[in-house]
Amino acid sequence: MNNQQISDLFKKIAVAYQIKNLPNSRFKVIAYERASEEIKNFPTPLEKMWKEDRLDEVPGLGSSMISHVKELFTKGKVSHFEAILREIPQSMFTLLSVPGFGPKKAYRLVTYFKLDNPKTVVEDIKVLAEKGKIASLEGFGEKSQKDILDAIGQFEKGQVKENRILLGLAYELSSNITEYLKKSPLVKKVLALGSLRRMRETIGDIDLAVATEKSDEVIEYFLKYPDQSQIVEKGKEGATIRLGNGRQVDLRVIPPRQWGSMVQYFTGSKAHNIQLRELALRKGYSLNEYGLTPLKNKKQKILEFDTEEKLYKFLGLPRIEPEIREDRGEIEAAIHKAKDQKPGLPQLVKLSDIKGDLHIHTSFNIETSHDLGSHDILTLLKKADSLGYEYIGISDHNPSQSKHSEDKILSIMKIRKAYYEHKKRSNKSIRTQLLIMLEIDIRPNGDLALPNQCFEYIDASIVSVHSEFRMDKEKMTDRVLKGLSHPKARILAHPTGRLLTGRVGFELNWERIFEFCKKNNKAIEVNASPYRLDLSDIMIRLAVQNGIKLIINTDSHSKEEMDNMKFGVSQARRGWAQKNDILNTMRYNEFKDWLLY
């Protein structure tokens, strides 16, 4: 079984617990849903982890789950799972892939109407709804019967509930394949396309293109990729495989002279391509992956483009950066630019513009109620130096208030400052400057979780919400603004608290937040962790339009995570952010002036 299949199985178990509704079901549901997400996003096949006796390294797997997974690999099934699933009709799981159907609704319908054929269940429900039989069911009604028919209509057009992985994982998987492909001397160029090139926060499948004159050989070589677990499709111009973890990879091969058209087409987005096709039609061509085909003069040959620049130029546009090819106004902006009118396309911020990272956790134990980092200050400073950063901010979580007296916290904070300063002085070869910061919880009443006399021992602070997410929007806004109003609170970190693996995050009144930040010179974080990417691209765009200053931070808990900066920068680019929207593109002296303001 590959990771995708195990993830699906775990999701089924979560659903089964939800339906059973036993006293402790609620916790099981949450635990299995979380594990299902983690497994789906885990880069290594669980079977390999099992063989190496490393299942305990898979996040979200508790000890009982580990024993179930072991049983799965040794016996091919799990008796505990079979017992749970026994009373649940398989047909309801089919129904769950239709948008708009949750476990309770699906279970109610299949049991009430005794629909136990997974192959016909969707059609059966449709017929019942058309006959008006569902509306009369208690708790359903006309409206919900119509919604069901609409949802099935969409399902029949091919829309299923989304099954996507995090950008961070897709990036890693695709880098490995790219590296493999580059080893073949026949491969001239390799590029990841689709949503991955556009750096969307989640990815459906991985698309890759190779430029070569020897397509057959390259396709054969691709099919021998060591982590290939299944060949889904093989043709003259490409192939599709499945990886060990179940994820699908589409490869296209193309001669270099058509490279530009091919990568443009499969970078998408679909919506962007549709707009571009309109422009082509107006010039008398149809746009496809091979080039521009003349509409009238059929004898005229197809126009080929070896670079994207040339293709865009032919259509009267400058090349548009992949991250903003979403049909969110980029083509209009590019046309304006071409006519030399404002506003044109933005000069998007680049990874190389970043001069520092202000949200990094160390292993120095200040007894917080959250997690520590796994590396010490010197290791992190060296890593920062190797990234070419002029400065970093160490933002450990504040010491736990429930476990310590104020005096104790004060003494911890003094020791911490002295320790960091000593360590920094001890290694003169590190050029990166150190800012001693702290990530402070904003408590439900808006107070910061640090006694006031302790602020003397930090340069500045990041503030963030880590508890009590379920609050009324305006109350949550009051809470955040009160926390941010402390003079040393400079940055609001992971502003919505969302997790891309399933936590929606809380709502804020953004008009009030933006107004406050502008008036009081505060910054909002773009958290680069692939699990968060918070703010989202759309919110970044809104912040930029409102003139809000942003900071891109990795929220690293290890030196390796400091490489996640690229994911934050890509989201900022997707939000049309330019260099001067991002504070940590400033040189050290300028940044320090802002921070210590």
Q: Which is nearer to ligand DGT, 232 or 274 (CB)?
A: 274
Please tell me whether the peptide bond between 530 and the residue prior to it is cis, using omega within 30 degrees of 0: no
Residue among 264 and 585 whose Cβ is closer to ligand DGT: 264
Q: CA 595 from chain center: how many Å?
A: 28
374 binds, among Ca ion, ligand DGT, Zn ion, none (CB under 5 to 8 A by kind): none
288 is an interface residue for ligand DGT by CB under 6 A? no
Residues binding ligand DGT: number (CB under 6 A) = 13
> How many Cα atoms are found within 13 Å in the side-chain-facing hemisphere of 412?
21
Residue number with the smallest Cβ distance to ligand DGT: 268
For residue 501, the partner it binds in ligand DGT, Zn ion, Ca ion, none, with Cβ less than 5 to 8 A by kind, is none
539 binds ligand DGT (CB under 6 A): no
**Whole-number minimum distance, CB 463 to Zn ion, in Å?**
11
Which one of the spans 89-97, 154-162, 347-355, 433-441 is the region binding Zn ion (CB under 5 A)? 433-441
CA angle 335, 337, 340 (to 5 degrees): 115
Query: Exposed e or buried b for every residue in 428-443, given b needs 16+ CB within 10 A?
Result: eebebbbbbbbbbbbb
Residue choice 3, 7, 264, 273 for contact with ligand DGT (CB under 6 A): 273
Q: Are 508 and 480 in contact (CB under 8 A)?
A: yes
Two tokens at 442? 């904003």
Q: Does position 205 bind Ca ion by CB under 5 A?
A: yes
Size, binding site for Ca ion by CB under 5 A: 5
Say whether residue 357 binds Zn ion (CB under 5 A).
no
Residue 133: closest CA among 154, 160, 114, 119: 114
Query: Beta-strand (E) ranges in 255-317?
Result: 285-288, 291-294
Residue 210's DSSP bridge partners are 190, 253
- Smallest gap, in angstroms, from Cβ of residue 390 to ligand DGT? 36
H or E element in which residue 251 lies: strand 248-254
Q: Which does 238 bind (CB under 5 to 8 A by kind): Ca ion, Zn ion, ligand DGT, none?
A: none
CA angle, residues 565, 566, 572, in degrees to nearest 5: 95
Place of tokens 């959250």: 370
Among 207, 323, 439, 534, binds Zn ion (CB under 5 A): 439
Residues 232-271, mask of contacts with ligand DGT (x by CB under 6 A): ---------------------------------xx-xxx-
CA angle in degrees (0–180, nearest 5) for 88-4-78: 45
- Looking at the Cβ atoms of 254 and 491, the one nearer to ligand DGT is 254
Nearer to Zn ion, 106 or 458 (CB): 458
Cβ closest to Ca ion, residue 205 vs residue 353:
205
Provide the minimum distance between the beta carbon of 266 and ligand DGT in the complex, in angstroms, as a whole number. 4
Q: Check the CA dihedral 142-145-151-152 and report its sign.
A: negative
Provide long-range contacts, Cβ within 8 A and 24+ apart, for 251-254.
251/208, 251/209, 251/210, 251/219, 251/222, 252/193, 252/207, 252/208, 252/209, 252/210, 252/289, 253/209, 253/210, 253/211, 253/212, 253/215, 253/218, 253/219, 254/209, 254/210, 254/211, 254/212, 254/215
Look at residue 439 and give the partner it binds from Ca ion, Zn ion, ligand DGT, none, a contact being a CB closer than 5 to 8 Å depending on partner kind.
Answer: Zn ion
**What is the per-residue binding string for Ca ion in 240-269, x denoting contact by CB under 5 A?**
----------x-------------------
Q: Which C-beta is closer to Zn ion: that of 33 or that of 439?
A: 439
Out of Ca ion, Zn ion, ligand DGT, none, what residue 555 binds, judged by CB under 5 to 8 A for its kind, is Zn ion
Does the protein bind Ca ion through residue 37 (CB under 5 A)?
no
From 37, 201, 207, 330, residue interacting with Ca ion (rule: CB under 5 A): 207
Distance of CA 206 to the CA centre of its chain: 14
Using alpha carbons, select from 208, 326, 323, 321 the residue that is nearest to residue 263.
208
Restricting to residues 161-220, name those near ligand DGT by CB under 6 A.
194-195, 203-205, 207
DSSP strand E in 174-237: where? 189-193, 202-203, 206-211, 228-234
Coil vs helix vs strand at 276: helix
Please, which of residues 507-566 interact with Zn ion by CB under 5 A?
555
β pairing state of 202-203 and 165-166: antiparallel
Sites of contact with Zn ion (CB under 5 A): 439, 555
Sites of contact with ligand DGT (CB under 6 A): 194-195, 203-205, 207, 265-266, 268-270, 273-274
Sites of contact with Ca ion (CB under 5 A): 194, 204-205, 207, 250
